[in-house]
Structures are given as C-alpha cells and as structure tokens.
A and B are shown apart, each in its own frame.
Chain A
Amino acid sequence: AQSVTQLGSHVSVSEGALVLLRCNYSSSVPPYLFWYVQYPNQGLQLLLKYTSAATLVKGINGFEAEFKKSETSFHLTKPSAHMSDAAEYFCAVSGSGNQFYFGTGTSLTVIP
C-alpha cells in the first residue's frame, strides 16, 4: 500500500524566505511522487513529479523537490517565497494499482 504524510498542516514564511514543505511517503514498490498546488477556488495543478529519473526535480514557479529514498522523503522547496505562492500544497504518490494517494495538504501563508 502507498501513502504520504505531510508534516505541518499550516506553514507561514516571510516574503523572500525559504519555503520548505515536508512530505514522507510509504510505498511497497518504487514510488512515483508528485506535488500539486491548489489556489483558492481552483482545482489542483501539477507543480512537479518524480518518476525515477533525476532525484532532484525542478518544477514550475521556482519550486523543486528532492527524492531521498533513505529518508523516504520528497520535500518541496523554493529559495525565496513570493506572495503569489500562498496556496494549499499536496503531496501525492502513485505506486501499485491505479490510485493516486494524496496527503492532507499544507496551507502556505506568505507574510509581507
């Protein structure tokens, strides 16, 4: 079975500060991992995905994530937060079967 755990349901950072959103996964097979972002009143859109190529994955809007098998982690980072980054972020895993398993989400607040 697959699952993801997002540590911290709410994260606040100052504008210009480092953004770090944590995600740990559990998977009995090599996982494929995703980060999605949800802006208010919108659906989820893909930020980036890991599919067993490079362990450091770059996504849209300056975000990147690093797959660390030894730590079963796939944390999302951005060097400098922007006000427009305020949103809900979801980590997801796809392993065996047809399902995507989503984490409970992390709400990012950017303080001016």
Chain B
Amino acid sequence: DSGVTQTPKHLITATGQRVTLRCSPRSGDLSVYWYQQSLDQGLQFLIQYYNGEERAKGNILERFSAQQFPDLHSELNLSSLELGDSALYFCASSAQEGGVGNTGELFFGEGSRLTVL
C-alpha cells in the first residue's frame, strides 16, 4: 500500500460527458502528479501541483483541468470526453517540490480506469 488513494477505481461514461477523478496523497506529501496511461501512448505526464499551486504542466489537454485543495487532495476534471480519453489515470505524490534534479521518489495510487463509450 503506497498510501496514495484514488477514487473511483473504475468509471464508465459516454462521449461528451464530464468526470472528476480524486486523489489523496500520502500523509505529509505536498506534491501531487497526474499521469495518463494508455496502450498506445505509455505513461504521459499531465500536471503537477505543490502545496496547492501548479508547478509543472505536461501533455494535458485544454478539456482537462486539475486543482489541489488546501487539505492537499487533488482532483482531475475531464470534460467533453472522447473515446480516446479512455485510459488509466494515475495520481502520484512526493514529499519534494521538485525542481532541478528531483531525487525524491513518486508514490503511485492504483489508478482510476476510465472507459468512454
């Protein structure tokens, strides 16, 4: 058990809909990362937050947004869903803020599997 909790574990929805994925980081970790894992794209970095502020942005679509709340949990919002958004979405947390040479390991949740029909 990594200590990172993600809900829901599975989600099935239709094209055009909006969903929210939730992540609770490990106790004490201030950084939260979101990744998308699909068969054809591998593990893609979406976005990182540190103590409520956005720190880094990766290949996140404009239809997607995220935030980190004062209690440090994070939510990833996916809107106007398309078939291609079907994937496993991982949240990871870290004690470190990041920056040059981030030596801290990431602790991953078990993921939220999104299926768009």
Task: Write the residues of chain A forming the contact surface with B, with a CB cutoff of 8 angstroms.
Answer: 29-32, 34, 36, 41-46, 49, 51, 90, 94-105
Bound-state CA distance A90–B44 (Å) is 12
Total cross-chain contacts (CB, 8 A): 72
Residue of B nearest to A90 (CB): B43
Task: Write the residues of chain B forming the contact surface with A, with a CB cutoff of 8 angstroms.
Answer: 2, 4, 31, 33, 35, 42-43, 45, 48, 50, 55-56, 58, 90, 92, 97-103, 105-106, 108-111
Shortest B78–chain A CB gap in Å is: 19
Inter-chain contact A99/B101, CB cutoff 8 Å: no
Inter-chain contact B101/A102, CB cutoff 8 Å: no
- A sample of 18 cross-chain residue pairs with beta-carbon separation below 8 angstroms, ordered by A number, consists of A29-B101, A31-B101, A32-B102, A43-B109, A44-B92, A44-B108, A45-B2, A45-B108, A46-B105, A97-B98, A98-B50, A98-B97, A98-B98, A100-B45, A101-B45, A102-B42, A102-B43, A102-B45
Residue of A nearest to B50 (CB): A98
Inter-chain contact B42/A32, CB cutoff 8 Å: no
B90: which A residues are within 8 A, CB to CB? 43-44
Inter-chain contact B56/A98, CB cutoff 8 Å: yes
Bound-state CA distance A102–B58 (Å) is 12
Inter-chain contact A32/B108, CB cutoff 8 Å: no
Inter-chain contact B108/A43, CB cutoff 8 Å: yes
B55: which A residues are within 8 A, CB to CB? 98
Bound-state CA distance A97–B31 (Å) is 14
List of 4 A-B pairs having minimum Cβ-Cβ separation, nearest first: A98-B98, A43-B108, A98-B56, A104-B42
